[in-house]
Amino acid sequence: MLFKNLINAAGTVTIGAAVVISCLLQACSVNDNASGYKTFLSESDKFSRLQEWDFATDYALKALDAADRSHSAAAKSEVLSHLAAIDIMTWRDAQAWEHSCEAESLARESGIDSLVAMALLQKGKVCLCGAITEEDVRDDEALGYLEEALKLSYGCPSVKADVLFNISQVYVGKNRFRREIDPVLYAKAGDYLDAGEALARDHGLEESIAKSYTYRMRYLRQGAKLDEGIDCCNKILEISGNDDFLHKSQAYNQMVMFYSLKGDVENAAAAHQQYVYAMERFMRQKSDALLQNMESMYDSSLKQERIRILLRWLSVLVFAVLLLIALVVVVFGSRQRIYAADKGKEALLRFISKDFTNPSFNSKVSEAFHDISTMDEASIRERCASLVGESDPEAREIADYIVALARERAGAGARFGLTSREMEILRLSREGLTAAQIADRLHISVFTVNNHKQNIYSKMGVRSNAEMIRIATEKGLF
């Protein structure tokens, strides 16, 4: 009972430690289910708004790894589109194109139209951003991708609004290398811009509404609508949050251009001063965010190091418990074997003592078990049953003891490399039989017996028959 209780307690401790280790490993690992990549995307967005593109890219790549391990084509497509947007902002056009193409392929595989539209939007942006000279223009190609994206974005208003804004920019771009603006193209740019703004307002998309003013500033500057452009800049300043210094700086910068084109030097200088102030505050925001991110990374690494130390100690504990269980099992099993052997030996002695003075009885017992070293277990049990009697309650204990004794002797013989025939000759030699008598008993020649004995001498490292019997007795071969 004590042994069972000890095993149960040790097993409980082991299982508990294993559960704790499993929980800690899960805490250390990245959550790679369908929602795990969202956390990294959120961090990437935060650094994108601060224009810290290296950190934004790092978190986007972590999101891509999490999405890849989630085996979700939709999640991976979303992250690749996000990564392509960062590539566009950092002028990595070739990489942006590769990411957006892969995002489109995965989106079509998943069958989600809004994701296909996001990927096509990025492809259109790559075409737009790649035109530095008139020979590089890919406006028509960009328009093809964006028009297809517009058809597929019906279920996602924010994506549709962004597509409309970029189609507007295509038509603005078509006028950028012309000496005189094409009014038809300019009107189309305004129509798509108005449609995007209306959609954003209808669905309460604050971020899309803020984007629309940024696109409109370029549109108004191209059309030389300076007063409207200044009003647009003031609108951006009005809707920007108190700490949104990035958009404020962009608005003031555009305002400087509009006032300069009007020839209003005083207001241009004032706007420039506000621009410098907004940029200073924005750079301070970036520094604070970077410092906070470094502190967060340090805390995370410190936490992981503590968990690793705890895991090592728990592993040592589990190993110690398992070692204790193994030791208890070995000791208990050894004691059980000793106890069983003692019971079998006592039963055999009681059986022999029933008729100890009868020479024929003793001879019968000796004859039954004289060659146990060369017998298999079935034969030993069969002889034991025939000698003791199957109905005798102690027959099984006696048979178990003799079987164990046979195994021990066979094991001892195996340590010396003795064959069954050599063990038989060794036993007969111990009985005092000569080589001729052994040959007669085993129906072999005297030469064969002597040859076997020489092999036994060599294997046991002895030189005489007496030394052979002495060593065999000491080593338990009899």
- Give yes or no for a contact between 400 and 442, defined as CB atoms under 8 angstroms apart: no
Domain match, 404 and 387 both: yes
Query: Which single residue is written with the structure tokens 């006696």?
Result: 398
Domain match, 421 and 409 both: no
pTM exceeds 0.75: no
Domain match, 393 and 428 both: no
Residue 316 lies in a domain: no
Taking the C-alpha atoms of residue 56 and residue 38, their distance in angstroms, rounded to an integer, is 13
What local confidence, expressed as pLDDT, does residue 77 receive? 93
Nearest partner of 207 among 160, 158, 246, 277, judged by Cα = 158
What local confidence, expressed as pLDDT, does residue 388 receive? 67
Query: Looking at 413, 431, 456, which one is the last position of a domain?
Result: 413
Token duo for residue 230: 């200044």
Domain match, 472 and 424 both: yes
Domain match, 435 and 463 both: yes
Q: Is residue 99 classed as helix, strand or coil in its secondary structure?
A: helix
- Give yes or no for a contact between 402 and 351, defined as CB atoms under 8 angstroms apart: no
Residue range 306-363, pLDDT digits in tens = 888 888 898 888 888 888 888 887 776 666 555 555 666 666 666 555 555 555 555 6
Domain match, 403 and 432 both: no
Token duo for residue 231: 């009003």
What local confidence, expressed as pLDDT, does residue 183 receive? 92
Residue 142: its H or E element: helix 139-152
Domain match, 427 and 383 both: no
**Number of other CB atoms surrounding residue 350 within 10 Å:** 11
Helix axes 73-89, 113-129, angle to 10 degrees: 20
Token duo for residue 423: 């063990």
Domain match, 389 and 439 both: no
What local confidence, expressed as pLDDT, does residue 147 receive? 94
Q: Give the domain extent around 475.
A: 417-478
Residue range 136-146, pLDDT digits in tens = 788 899 999 99
Task: Tell me the backbone φ, ψ of residue 52, rounded to 5 degrees.
Answer: -95, 85
- DSSP-derived secondary structure for 217-257: HHHHHHTT-HHHHHHHHHHHHHHS-TT-HHHHHHHHHHHHH
- Give yes or no for a contact between 366 and 388, defined as CB atoms under 8 angstroms apart: no
What local confidence, expressed as pLDDT, does residue 341 receive? 58
Token duo for residue 195: 């449609």
Residue 218 lies in a domain: no
Q: Is 356 exposed, middle or buried (0-12, 13-18, 19+ CB in 10 A)?
A: exposed
Residue 363 lies in a domain: yes
Q: For 300-349, what is the HEC assignment?
A: HHHHHHHHHHHHHHHHHHHHHHHHHHHHHHHHHHHHHHHHHHHHHHHHHH
Residue 459 lies in a domain: yes
**Number of other CB atoms surrounding residue 439 within 10 Å:** 19
What local confidence, expressed as pLDDT, does residue 34 receive? 46
Domain match, 444 and 398 both: no
Domain count, the chain: 2
Which CATH number is 428's domain given? Answer: 1.10.10.10
- Give yes or no for a contact between 212 and 197, defined as CB atoms under 8 angstroms apart: yes
Taking the C-alpha atoms of residue 427 and residue 447, their distance in angstroms, rounded to an integer, is 18
Residue 455 lies in a domain: yes
Residue 424 lies in a domain: yes
Token duo for residue 474: 């000491």
Residue 399 lies in a domain: yes
Taking the C-alpha atoms of residue 399 and residue 414, their distance in angstroms, rounded to an integer, is 22
Token duo for residue 205: 């998309």
What local confidence, expressed as pLDDT, does residue 211 receive? 87
- Give yes or no for a contact between 248 and 278, defined as CB atoms under 8 angstroms apart: yes
Domain match, 454 and 406 both: no
What local confidence, expressed as pLDDT, does residue 250 receive? 86
Q: Phi-psi bin for 224: left (phi > 0), alpha (psi -120 to 50), beta? A: left
Query: Looking at 383, 413, 443, which one is the last position of a domain?
Result: 413
Which regions of the chain are under pLDDT 70? 1-35, 130-135, 332-377, 380, 383, 385-395, 401, 405-414, 476-478
- Give yes or no for a contact between 401 and 348, defined as CB atoms under 8 angstroms apart: yes
- Give yes or no for a contact between 167 and 192, defined as CB atoms under 8 angstroms apart: yes
Residue 367 lies in a domain: yes
Domain match, 406 and 383 both: yes
What local confidence, expressed as pLDDT, does residue 195 receive? 94
Query: Looking at 366, 395, 413, which one is the last position of a domain?
Result: 413
State how far the alpha carbon of 59 is from the alpha carbons of 56, 79, 293, 365, 452, in Å. Answer: 5, 10, 12, 85, 79
